[in-house]
Amino acid sequence: MTFASPFPVGFSNRNGKLYCEDIPLDDLARRYGTPLYVYSRSAIEETIADYQQELKGTDHRVFFAMKANSNLGILDLMNRKGCGFDIVSGGELARALAVGADPKKIVYSGVGKTVREMREALQAGILCFNLESIPELDRLQEVAADMGVVANVSVRINPNVDAKTHPYISTGLKNNKFGVAYESSVELYKKAASLPNIRVTGIDCHIGSQITELSPFLDAGHKVLDLVDALKAEGIEIDHIDFGGGLGVRYIDETPPAASELVKALTTLCEERGYGHLTLYFEPGRSLIARSAVLLMTVQYLKPTESKNFCIVDTGMNDMMRPALYEAEMPIVETVENDEPAKRWDIVGPICESGDWLDKNRRLKVRAGDVLAMFSAGAYGMSMASNYNSRPNAMEIMVSGEEVQVIRERGTYADLMRNERLLKQVKRD
Ligand code: LLP
């Protein structure tokens, strides 16, 4: 088996078969069909505990960035384990409320909040809006005034640091659309502090995703704290600093710091700079959920050609976009050891696009009908899935020991067409 050890928590190789907790992956594929996202409950619980370990006995808080995975079953577990939520749309707010999240544990990020979304969030009584521009501040003041309420705000600053990650998922550089330029943020704060329906409570930043070193977080942390100094000099006091998300995970051989290390480094930095009394917020997405899942697929056809060997599976870029969109490398492995000769394969889906690939040049022992597994598929997998080529959504299940719970039924053809309508008869027909 080509999988690079160590296995993620919750997954193991027992006598040549891959398991999620106590169930073989190929059994799950046979029972539920593929494409199938399989989550390990203990893996999720363990990563949450790693974040929370350094936060015990403090007011610091973890808000799961649910864009990484917004399945209700996953959110339910996060909520039960004490996480709050970082949302970016009215739909995400509805999901958080649907699992019974406390609105006082919801922060709202994103550059494009609409009037309707602001209203809904104010109505729910969320903890804080992370603002990204002056027009957004003006709009929030207007909406809050109209509703007769006061909105808590934090300003997302763009610290202009290099997160050293893929350009598509780097967000803290000057040329990104995100955040407020460092230089103009004091002005924005002054304006916010003067508005009657706005209460300034914090500052935030988020510099990118899949960051595998501590240094960009610390660089950004220093810049944020410089700004807290500047705000203090203006008489503007805040009560929290939100360091965003962004911590990377191991897909191949990356060695990112543990969540507890990141939390410790940033709490220590704040203490050293005299801000130990402020509450720290973290908005992790990927690092809380990526490693807890595999995506199972079944080999349909083997198609060796002159230049390449194609292994065509029943799972495509519509089910998992990351390789096609970011050229992300997410290794795919056999789920059962076998005696086929090993060859190099490109693992491709059924979608009519050359970009529809899941893994390239992977050494596999594979036959038609075999079940393969893509590891670390829990983040930005199902949440970015589409129905392109009219393919129904994949199914999602959560495994705990020998127990399985379906957390998303497999999509149907009727689901695909549910919101669409035939044309009315018109005269010229
Ligand atoms: N907070 C804010 C304001 C964000 O924009 C994001 C992610 C997060 C938190 C969570 O970041 P994380 O801990 O997951 O790195 N689809 C891409 C990743 C996009 C990330 C967008 N923002 C991917 O599949 O790599």
Please report, for the chain, the start and end positions of each structural domain, with discontinuous segments joined by +.
11-40+290-417, 109-284
Closest C-alpha residue for ligand 1 atom 9: 245
Q: Which of 31-35, 177-181, 212-216, 396-400 has the lowest mean pLDDT?
A: 177-181
More confident residue, 162 or 386: 386
Mutation test of ligand 1: which of 86, 109, 206, 254 has the most ligand atoms closer than 8 Å to its C-beta? Answer: 206
Residue whose tokens read 């809006």? 129
Average pLDDT of the segment spanning 62-86: 98
Q: How does DSSP assign 350-411, residue by residue?
A: SSSSTT-EEEEEEEE---TT-EEEESS-SSSSGGG---TTT-PPPEEEEEETTEEEEEEPPP
Distance 245 CA to ligand 1 centre (A): 7
- Tell the residue number behind the tokens 């069909």, with chain if given: 33
Please give the Cα distance from 371 to 295 (Å, whole number). 10
Ligand 1: nearest atom to the Cα of 380: 24
The count of residues in the chain is 429
> Tens of pLDDT along 283-299?
999 999 999 999 999 99
Tell me which DSSP letter residue 7 carries: P
pLDDT in the model for residue 179: 85
Residue found under tokens 């706005």: 198
Q: At the fourth CATH level, which superfamily is domain 11-40+290-417?
A: Lyase, Ornithine Decarboxylase; Chain A, domain 1 (2.40.37.10)
Which ligand 1 atom minimizes the distance to the CA of 287? 13
148-192 residue pLDDT tens: 999 999 999 998 887 777 666 666 666 677 889 878 899 999 999
- Counting other chains too, the contacts that 108-112 makes at CB distance below 8 Å and 24 or more residues apart are 109/65, 109/156, 109/204, 109/206, 109/283, 111/136, 111/177, 111/178
Mutate to test the pocket of ligand 1, among 87, 173, 207, 209 (most ligand atoms within 8 A of CB): 209
pLDDT of residue 56: 84
- The whole-chain average pLDDT of the chain stands at 94
Residue that wins the pLDDT comparison between 83 and 168: 83
Fold designation for 109-284: TIM Barrel (3.20.20)
Q: Which residues line ligand 1 (CB under 6 A)?
A: 65, 67-68, 86, 109, 169, 206, 209-210, 244-247, 283-287, 322, 326, 380
Residue 285: both structure tokens together: 């997405």
pLDDT in tens, 313-337: 999 999 999 999 999 999 999 999 9
* pLDDT reading at 2 higher than 70: no
What DSSP string runs through 293-349?
A: EEEEEEEEEEEE-SS-EEEEES--TTT--HHHHH-----EEESB---SPPEEEEEE-
Alpha carbon of 207 to those of 117, 136, 173: distances in Å?
24, 20, 7
Which position has the token pair 């988020």?
A: 206
Burial class (CB in 10 A: 0-12, 13-18, 19+), 16: exposed
Q: Which residues of 195-204 are buried (b: 16+ CB within 10 A; e: fewer)?
A: bebbebbbbb
CA-wise closest residue to 227 among 193, 192, 273: 273
Ligand 1 mean position, distance from CA 147 (Å): 31
Measure 392 CA to ligand 1 centroid, in angstroms.
25
Instruction: Kindly indicate the confidence band of residue 418, based on its pLDDT and cuts at 50, 70 and 90.
Output: very high
> Under a CB-based contact definition with an 8 Å cutoff, are residues 293 and 40 in contact?
yes
Peptide bond into 159 cis (omega under 30): no
Q: Does the structure show a pLDDT above 70 at 75?
A: yes
Q: Do domains 11-40+290-417 and 109-284 have the same CATH topology?
A: no
DSSP H/E element including 25: helix 25-32
Active-site residue flag, 270:
no
**What's this model's pTM, rounded to 2 decimal places?**
0.96
Say whether pLDDT at 99 is over 80: yes
DSSP 221: H
- Ligand 1 centroid to 414 CA: how many Å? 32
Consecutive H or E run containing 106? strand 106-108
pLDDT above 90: residue 428: no
Quote the CA–CA distance of 68 and 248 in Å, as a whole number: 13
